[in-house]
Structure 1
Amino acid sequence: MSETTHDGGVAVSDRPSPDDGLSAAERAAKYGLAVSGARPGLVEYVRQLWGRRHFILAFSQAKLTAQYSQAKLGQLWQVATPLLNAGVYYLIFGLILKANRGMSHDVYIPFLVTGVFVFTFTQSSIMAGVRAISGNLGLVRALHFPRASLPISFALQQLQQLLFSMIVLFIVAIAFGSYPGLSWLIIVPVLFLQFLFNTGLALIVARMGAKTPDLAQLMPFILRTWMYASGVMFSISTMLAGRPEWIVRALQVNPAAVYMDLMRFALIDGYGSSHLPPHVWAIATFWAVVVAGGGFVYFWKAEERYGRG
């Protein structure tokens, strides 16, 4: 309560305030105040994300368009890059190291190209996800929106890029004698499950990368090791023939190998079910649901910390 002085000024009374002794949290609760940027409940967070669905799609499309805007070939690099990688792997692993054992060239070339394209989808989603927060701090600090929008939009960007590349993948398969059939319908659920898996991984590494930006420098080495262990350049069952069965199964059920082999089974006539692990669809669904769900919750739990400090 204030008192008026003789000269007309205002002096602050020494009477204690009723809020003295209350903590900041208690004062906030008393007056119905909330922490700025506080994490909403999980259901409310999902609702907010759905409300930003147009932003997520537009942001992913804008990033896709800008990705090669400075290159003369522009969007053609979306297809040229994995094709060039496949060409290098074919030279080294197909011709020099003879990793195509048990497969003719008509099978091995689409086998290799499919593996490169599908693994690149996961690889690019992770690399984009790890920088989703740390590389967009200006946007995160300037605007209020569900931060999960960023890694999700980057995973969606990589899906759109793969869909462009699939045209070339179809041409390669047909050129080597694998013509469209009912098995090609499998491509849709495979891509859907892999997209869920990739999105979950992008959310996980986005939170980790927000706290530890140096993770972006370490990730290429981790991904390269994962690629060599996933049978991108060789058939796991053929290359490890004679090895203990548990080693073969362990490599076959790793998610990168599962999604690659399902895509190969769908596209390539000479790639039969004998190359797939038992219960392959259950395994593919398990990886998609567990990683997507777990990654989403893991990212959401740190929502109020992104862009601070």
Structure 2
Amino acid sequence: MSQVLHTPPPAPARAEGDLAALAARHGLSVSGARPTLTQYVRQLWARRHFITAFATAKLTAQYSQAKLGQVWQVATPLLNAAVYYFIFGVLLGTKHGVADYIPFLVTGVFVWTFTQSSIMAGTRAISGNLGLVRALHFPRAALPISFALQQLQQLLFSMAALVFILFLCGVPIGLSWALTVPTLVLQFVFNAGISMVMARMGAKTPDLAQLMPFILRTWMYVSGVMFSIDKTLKNTTLPHWAQTLLEANPAAVYIDLMRFALIDSFKAHQLPHHVWAYAVGWALLAGVGGFVYFWKAEERYGRG
């Protein structure tokens, strides 16, 4: 006796389309769907007050457990500068031939710290805030941007100490100090863009946060934080392409622009050619490119 197995008929091909039409008819949409780029920008702008408040709260809480509190916002980069001065300026002699070496070094350390801290915070922006990401609906780009803004606020606190050091070293106030504003704006856009790139990568690979300190330390050593790139290139046999990479290095570009703005002895001929084109180009490339790259994975953050 044979037994005939009957399989249920396949669902009509139009069922999926019917469901989509039914959802559209009742105003339903896909949960967590990525908005268009224009809508995303509007949502982000609507939450600008949250971004600034979140950045300020993070900055305030950063040293809340320390007895000296917010003093560490200025003391930490100053102590780093003191260590670099002893190792590189005194022991390795990089201060020789560099006018106003202490302001030169402190400016480099402060500006570099802004980029370094923004990238490190951005790497953990999603993976370190999964509870917030999963609990609330908001454009996720608000997190890496707010962390970059937090580091900008940190730098502005440190700038007060930098100005005091400049006065102690006899550096006069000049009209060029106004150039710090466009320099910081461009650097902030660059930092925020790189932070968004690292936030997306860090959300998928949390172990990346353990690797980044080594990458950033290497980047610092080739960015002219402790030495003059202009002086080094004059006494080197590096191939032309390597010299061009050193000059076009975005961290070095923003550091040199800040030194040119603040330090009277740092002259225009020490800047790389087309330095403002480099500064604007890096800001646009990282800012726009990083934003679009982060937005493309918007619906995947906090899942899995």
TM over 0.5: yes
Would you say 1:72 and 2:72 are equivalent positions? Answer: no
Q: Name the structure 2 match of 1:116.
A: 109
Deviations 1:147-198 (A, max 9, x none): 0010010000000010010001111111111111101000000000000000
Task: Count how many residue pairs are aligned between Structure 1 and Structure 2.
Answer: 292
What is the one-letter code of the residue matched to 1:184? W
Report the alpha carbon displacement of residue 22 of structure 1 after superposing the two structures with TM.
Answer: 4.3
Q: Name the structure 2 match of 1:28.
A: 20
Deviations 1:40-98 (A, max 9, x none): 00000000001001111111111011000000111111111110000000000000000
Cα distance change, pair 212–96 in 1 and its aligned pair in 2 (3 A): same
Q: Name the structure 1 match of 2:135.
A: 142
Q: Name the structure 1 match of 2:264.
A: 269
Query: CA RMSD of the aligned region, Å?
Result: 1.8
User: Which runs of 5 or more residues in structure 1 are unaligned?
Assistant: 1-15
**In 1, Cα distance between the equivalents of 2:174 and 2:17?**
63
Deviations 1:76-123 (A, max 9, x none): 11111110000000000000000123124xx11100000000000000
Secondary structure of the structure 2 residue equivalent to 1:240:
helix
What is the one-letter code of the residue matched to 2:39? E
Secondary structure of the structure 2 residue equivalent to 1:100:
coil
Secondary structure of the structure 1 residue equivalent to 2:137:
coil
Of the candidates 202, 213, 217, which is equivalent to residue 209 of structure 1? 202
Cα distance change, pair 26–122 in 1 and its aligned pair in 2 (3 A): farther
How does 1:158-177 map onto structure 2 within 5 Å?
158-177=151-170
Q: Name the structure 2 match of 1:220.
A: 213
**In 2, Cα distance between the equivalents of 1:249 and 1:126?**
24
**In 2, Cα distance between the equivalents of 1:200 and 1:26?**
41
CA contact (8 A) 2:23 2:29 kept: no
Would you say 1:180 and 2:152 are equivalent positions? Answer: no
Report the alpha carbon displacement of residue 248 of structure 1 after superposing the two structures with TM.
Answer: 2.5
Report the alpha carbon displacement of residue 26 of structure 1 after superposing the two structures with TM.
Answer: 5.5
Cα distance change, pair 100–245 in 1 and its aligned pair in 2 (3 A): farther
Cα distance change, pair 152–24 in 1 and its aligned pair in 2 (3 A): farther
Cα distance change, pair 304–227 in 1 and its aligned pair in 2 (3 A): same
Give TM-score, length-normalised by structure 1. Answer: 0.91
Q: Name the structure 1 match of 2:5.
A: none
What is the one-letter code of the residue matched to 1:307? G
Secondary structure of the structure 2 residue equivalent to 1:308:
coil
Deviations 1:229-274 (A, max 9, x none): 1010000121232334443232011100000000001111111112
**In 1, Cα distance between the equivalents of 2:149 and 2:228?**
29
User: Which runs of 5 or more residues in structure 2 are unaligned?
Assistant: 1-7
